[in-house]
Amino acid sequence: AQSVAQPEDQVNVAEGNPLTVKCTYSVSGNPYLFWYVQYPNRGLQFLLKYITGDNLVKGSYGFEAEFNKSQTSFHLKKPSALVSDSALYFCAVRDADSGTYKYIFGTGTRLKVLA
Amino acid sequence: GAGVSQSPSNKVTEKGKDVELRCDPISGHTALYWYRQRLGQGLEFLIYFQGNSAPDKSGLPSDRFSAERTGESVSTLTIQRTQQEDSAVYLCASSLVTRDIQYFGAGTRLSVL
């Protein structure tokens, strides 16, 4: 069965510092991995995805994520955090070998960037 | 172009009543998803439609929940005999499966009193 774990409910970081939001996954086949962001009073928006290829994926708003197959992780990173990055972040996985387009989302991590 | 539209944006109902939530996906998107987001929790998969294939209903929590989709357009999620634990935000998303990116609506906030 597919599963996603986001071990931190909340991450606090000072503006200008690097940030990391953690995600680990479990699928029986090849993983397709995604990050979505939910800003206050707005719908979820796609940030980036890993399908195949380079393990470092770059996405919107300066975010990037690193796929690590041996550690089954897909951590979201940004070199320099902005106050406007404060939001709820969700990691999601799809089993590319399952024959379906069913996604499993993590429980979310609230990022708070302090000025 | 227009995004995913959900209605109503808010619904307050009494325990035991039936409710119907509507989702208008982005035109041309063959895949449509329903999720439930309880307060302070993550997204819980409910059901997924893809083209003319049989829907994946594996996430529906009970037989009180059902959903339909007309072709590749509007979908309705129906909750019968609502219970207080059904209170949540119900999110709809649509996708072109070739792009593997979901576009979410703003959600319907359901409150069962």
B101 → closest Cβ in A49, A100, A108: A49
Q: B91 contacts in A (CB within 8 Å)? A: 43-44
Domain spans of chain A, in order of start: 3-114
Closest-CA distance, A22 to chain B, in angstroms, reads 15
* Residue B41: per-residue pLDDT: 81
What pLDDT score was predicted for residue B1? 54
Sequence spans of domains, chain B? 5-112
How far B113 CA lies from chain A's nearest CA (Å)? 23
For residues A110 and B14, give the distance between their C-alpha atoms in angstroms, rounded to a whole number. Answer: 32
What is the topology classification, in CATH, of domain B5-112?
Answer: Immunoglobulin-like (2.60.40)
pLDDT band at B40 (very low <50, low <70, confident <90, very high): confident
Cα distance between residue A81 and residue A35, in whole Å: 17
Q: Flag whether residue B101 sits within 8 Å of chain A, measured between CB atoms.
A: yes
Q: What is the CATH superfamily name and number for domain A3-114?
A: Immunoglobulins (2.60.40.10)
Most confident of A36-45, A80-89, B48-57: A80-89
**Rounded-to-integer distance, Cα A23 and Cα A8, Å:** 9
B49-108 residue pLDDT tens: 998 888 999 999 999 999 999 888 899 999 999 999 999 999 999 998 777 899 999 999
Q: How far is A16 from chain B (nearest CA, A)?
A: 27
pLDDT in tens, A1-29: 789 999 999 999 999 999 999 999 999 99
Strands A10-14 and A109-114: parallel
CB proximity B100 to A under 8 Å: yes
Q: What is the DSSP letter of B112?
A: E
Contact across the interface for B45 and A49, Cβ inside 8 Å: no
| Cβ pair A14, A35 in contact under 8 A | no
pLDDT of residue A41: 79
Rounded Cα gap, residues B112 and B48, in angstroms: 24
What does the mean pLDDT of chain A come to? Answer: 94
User: d(Cα B49, Cα B94) in Å, to the nearest integer?
Assistant: 9
